[in-house]
Chain A
């Protein structure tokens, strides 16, 4: 009997939860704020869905009732991706400067 591809995706999902569990416990508490901002940025990979939705139209109808939601989602996700990664970068740069002290 064939295995439904859904089961493979479920396996990836469950194993990723475990990876997340161990990786996040190893994050030092002083970096918990950057952790939140970077998880925020990476969860915006949902932009993948937004792009597919936005490009579902054709030459004549670029903004159809379904693609318009895609375009809106692209804006939201883009704010998050750029904002999330850059603000994380900004925070981590502050942790960097200290090394001259040592």
Chain B
């Protein structure tokens, strides 16, 4: 296959990837978009086989390895529960990162195969691109592994901080730049290995101080990194499909991180440089006196909802943990039978990754036109009779609007307290991830339902 033809086909596969993302602008076109993505991938892989043109026994092994990886991937995709999507995505990011590192290593050892020169005499530009691809790939890998461990609960979600952390990170980053510089002038393979090792280390160090509640930002950020790593390799291989894709994924992840940061009213650097827990500790101990709360049972909740004409449901991560989404939908079905208007309000950072709650509700067969984003629904709380908060906490805290001293002051929150009555399902009065008390618990119109989210929802349904 001529180089021009294959370059054109790579361009087409890049365009198909753009269309794949474009399809996601609405649920109706999204499945078609995914199909475009699959076609794009098929084209890219086929063109690569044809342009290498090496159909010897090595080719058979390639197909075997492809089949092994493919079956593992397909198996995971069918088995994974929707609540575990954040872990899955973090895990997949780590694979992209590691694959980028492996490709870069291979290109460094055997540059002839890629047309980049001979070992010890690699073209300067290619070497720089290779080094960038390998370094970013390594950071993506180790960072994603830590994110995966934290999300999976194998590693504590609490931020791990130590003295001189920022200084150490800065030092390592500077050393990566210096290493890249020396690598280019000496072409030494030892420096290349050190560069990769140091990059693994920095990926690890960047993620450990970030707390569990900031995971939506971390996942989006690693998504972005995996894109930049792919783009770096794309430059090395002079491959348009990879360059386009890398740029798309890189900017996609960056936008998602921005949206998540805005949802928490924190700057990107604030998230990266330190855990939420660290700032909350200093302010968390000021009010320790017991304030009265009203608590009720499923019967009371059912009574309130039966007499309502509109109910807004506010789901959060707790709903995912309790696997309460199906029970919730059943409750809503019963409410709808009684001619009660029900809608769902989703905060941008609800859950552990962007859009997490939407997927869980979709899994439970909740129609997507009943689910609203913060800006769309926030004015409706004042007109609603009942707000049903299930598994959410900090995102409903009115303190964010009233107390400038609070660590979450300025964060956009759902105006749940404006409802005539608020039902708050929670196991106890313990604070959420931000480590602060929720004023909503003590409001006149709040009824606390202390129970497991799933069990409480089922009990309410029985009482309706």
Binding site for B on A (CB under 8 A): 5-6, 9, 12-14, 16-17, 19-21, 23-59, 62, 64-67, 69-98, 101-102
Contact = CB atoms under 8 A, between A and B. Distances in A.
A24 B30 CA distance: 13
A66 B223 contact: no
Chain A interface mostly:
helix
B308 interface: no
Interface of B: 13-14, 17-18, 20-22, 24-27, 30-31, 33-34, 37-38, 40-41, 44-45, 48-49, 52, 54, 56-59, 61-62, 65-74, 76-78, 80, 82, 85, 88-89, 92-93, 95-96, 98-100, 102-103, 105-107, 109-110, 112-114, 125, 219-220, 223, 226-227, 229-231, 233-253, 255-256, 259, 346, 348, 353-356, 358-359, 362-363, 365-369, 371, 373
Contacts of A28: 24-27
A46 B242 contact: yes
Contacts of A70: 102-103, 106
B26 to A, nearest CB: 6
B100 A46 contact: yes
B73 A81 contact: yes
Given A36-B223, A53-B110, A94-B359, A82 B73 contact: yes
B220 A36 contact: yes
Given A31-B27, A46-B233, A95-B30, A73 B106 contact: yes
Contact of B44 (A45, A58, A95): A45
Given A16-B248, A52-B113, A62-B58, 16 more contacts: A12-B240, A24-B256, A27-B24, A38-B34, A42-B20, A50-B106, A53-B103, A53-B106, A58-B58, A66-B106, A78-B65, A79-B72, A87-B88, A94-B365, A98-B362, A98-B368
B219 to A, nearest CB: 7
B10 to A, nearest CB: 8
A47 B358 CA distance: 31
5 closest A-B pairs by beta carbon, nearest first, are A78-B69, A32-B355, A83-B73, A56-B113, A82-B73
A30 B21 contact: no
Contact of A101 (B17, B73, B226, B367): B367
